[in-house]
Structure 1
């Protein structure tokens, strides 16, 4: 896999809240938002887009030992902070792509985007709305390496750490959902793609279909042989769907 030279930015959108952002590549801006597993889960997404685009990949406050003030505790706080990041950098026609918890932030950003900075929305196995009959099941990290992998090899865990889960719950609350979001998604006015791994046990494909149905004109793509992280588990099929979507929107 090709990697790209990145610049690490640390900005302070609010006093006492330093924000770490990976900035790599050039071209149409893409904002990549990670889920509970942290930035490492989105490394393949960053590398894929960095070949042709400028990628901004923030670390949500509280992950990777970054500080999170007690008052900074809602998905709305993250959404507003990242919209301000786009404003501060004077970025437009931005592709916002979020996975899992990051998909919730991406959706909330797009609903709130009164400055029309966002040009397309892509969410992958996202949580956020409350869908009756479809509960979110919290993923867990295994105690050891995946089967068949050398225990001495360096590899990211398959689920969020307990610390990451605690941080995520500080933003989401115990329900892991917003009962109003499904209705508010009708405000999305940009092309949207909802990508879902067919074997996801955290949020089922039917949850994803309901998510997509709430967004006007959204496209739903089911990725075979993938679970909650299709960009890692079936990258070829996932990126083919993403690239075809962006090409169809004329970008």
Structure 2
């Protein structure tokens, strides 16, 4: 299951779907307030985690691999900590959750984040942000900056891969290193030259890292 981040949509995984779906059944979603669900009020991180959990219950899905980017990773942390028996693998991609800053200071990093990422993806970022609207963006940005996941990280028992862009300007690499150290057995994969939207900036490296983690010898063992 692929969970996008703040101002994103399921379209942000377009460069990953073919590789991942070649070996696995893949679900993408648009969080409430974003993408095809843009006309609805955005939920908080914890509310989104609860809603996804309810959907997994309704579909009777087990042995899940959760892949979450930025705010989506934050949501996945909450979900994996609360339902360890259901989530087999957890992939956290430039995840928020340990970010300590004001919404204003974080917004100041947005131009630099756009510059360090893939330039051809900028129109998609701006379009999805426009569709979500300033109220949903501000509501979620304020919520995620207040919601630290530090206390729930020891509760995660899923196999965990932390993937980070070396040049992430929004959620800096030291936070990814701290996140990996705080989850038992977590593995850290740093993608050189990639920015915050690492699965778009370096899709081949990202896809290879995820598939090696999910399907590699350690998984079989």
TM-score bracket for this pair, using the shorter chain length: 0.7 to 0.9
CA distance in 2: counterparts of 1:62 and 1:104, whole angstroms: 17
- Cα distance, 1:56 vs structure 2: 1.3
Secondary structure at the counterpart of residue 202 of structure 1: coil
Q: Which has the higher helix share?
A: 2
Quote the residue 1:213 is aligned against: 181
Q: Tell me: CA distance 1:102–1:175, structure 2 relative to 1, closer, same or farther (3 Å).
A: closer
Instruction: Please state whether the residue corresponding to 1:196 is helix, strand or coil.
Output: strand
Aligned length: 208
Contact 1:97 1:123 in 2 (8 A): yes
2:73: which partner in 1?
103
Gap runs ≥5 in structure 1? 1-30
Match of 2:9 in 1: 38
**What are the equivalent positions in structure 2 for 1:85-164 lying under 5 Å apart?**
85-113=55-83, 116-130=85-99, 137-138=106-107, 139=110, 156-157=124-125, 161-162=129-130, 164=132
Q: Classify the secondary structure of the residue corresponding to 1:170.
A: helix
* 2:45 and 2:71 in contact (8 A); partners too: no
> Taking structure 1 as the reference length, what is the TM-score of the superposition?
0.73
TM-score normalized with structure 2 length: 0.82
The structure with the greater share of residues assigned to strand is 1
Q: Tell me, what secondary structure is at the counterpart of 2:43? A: coil
Aligned to 1:204: 172
- Residue 50 of structure 1, CA deviation: 1.4
CA-based RMSD: 2.9
Confirm or deny: 8 A CA contact 1:195 1:222 kept in the other structure.
yes
